[in-house]
Amino acid sequence: MRLLMVAYPGAGKGTQAEMLAAHYRIAHLSSGALLRAEVNSGTRIGKLAADYLRRGDLVPDELVFEMMRIRVLEAARHGGYVLDGFPRTIHQAEAAYSVAQEIEDVELQAVVYLKVGQNELRQRLRARAGHEGRTDDDDIAIAHRFEVFETETEPLLAFYAGRGILLEINGEQPVGDVFGDIISAVDSLHISG
Ligand code: AMP
């Protein structure tokens, strides 16, 4: 099973990705969480990525690909993955697609778009800022991340809809109901492997 979660910041993609990974026994690969870990460990990638993360800007593609490539290929060889936050632009999606074309059983099978309204998102992000302490959850960075999503990530939805693998899910329900809807939608695709 090879899935991608796409959603505005605060829509719950991390939570749902974690639940999906446990349910389907696949790897959860969160580009944002991996980047934050690189920053906290002070690695070369972390040092180069830190300012982008703080501002809520996208980290340059080369760094993200360097960090994700092997992990995605490994996960694909061991039952699959749920990608959380990568690919995040059309350019990343096309580059990932061309890598996947050369290798069997690596390409995405379904893309889950969690739909949540902007007011609800802002409320959730303010609450998260209180307990997770992410440096990019302050009001300015949040506003910027919304803009980045709209201009850079939203075009991905049409891209994957065109490939016939986009699933739109109402993310404003309680966590368990969102999860139930995702599972039903994914299972209805009858993906094997
Ligand atoms: P997230 O945890 O998905 O909200 O991501 C947090 C931050 O990590 C983003 O605001 C970006 O700075 C960076 N990031 C995560 N995934 C990517 C990606 N695929 N490409 C570029 N930057 C990314």
Task: Name the residue with the closest Cα to ligand 1, atom 6.
Answer: 32
Just list the catalytic residues: 13, 88, 128, 134, 145
pLDDT by residue (tens digit) across 100-130?
888 889 999 999 999 999 899 988 988 888 7
- Is residue 45 scored above 80 in pLDDT? yes
Position 193 scores a pLDDT of 60
At CB < 8 A and 24+ separation, what contacts does 184-189 make? Answer: 185/110, 185/112, 186/1, 186/3, 186/20, 186/110, 186/112, 189/109, 189/110, 189/165
- Among 164, 152, 167, 2, which residue's Cα sits nearest to residue 72? 2
pLDDT by residue (tens digit) across 75-86?
999 999 999 999
Model-level pTM?
Answer: 0.94
Looking from the CA of residue 57, the nearest atom of ligand 1 is 12
Q: How far is the CA of 190 from the centre of ligand 1 (A)?
A: 30
String of DSSP letters for 107-175: S--EEEEEE--HHHHHHHHHHHHHHH--TT-SHHHHHHHHHHIIIIITHHHHHHHHTT-EEEEETTS-H
Class at the top of the CATH hierarchy for domain 2-187: alpha beta
Looking from the CA of residue 87, the nearest atom of ligand 1 is 19
Per the structure block, which two tokens stand in for 94? 């096309």
Q: How far is the CA of 35 from the centre of ligand 1 (A)?
A: 7
What mean pLDDT is reported for the chain? 94
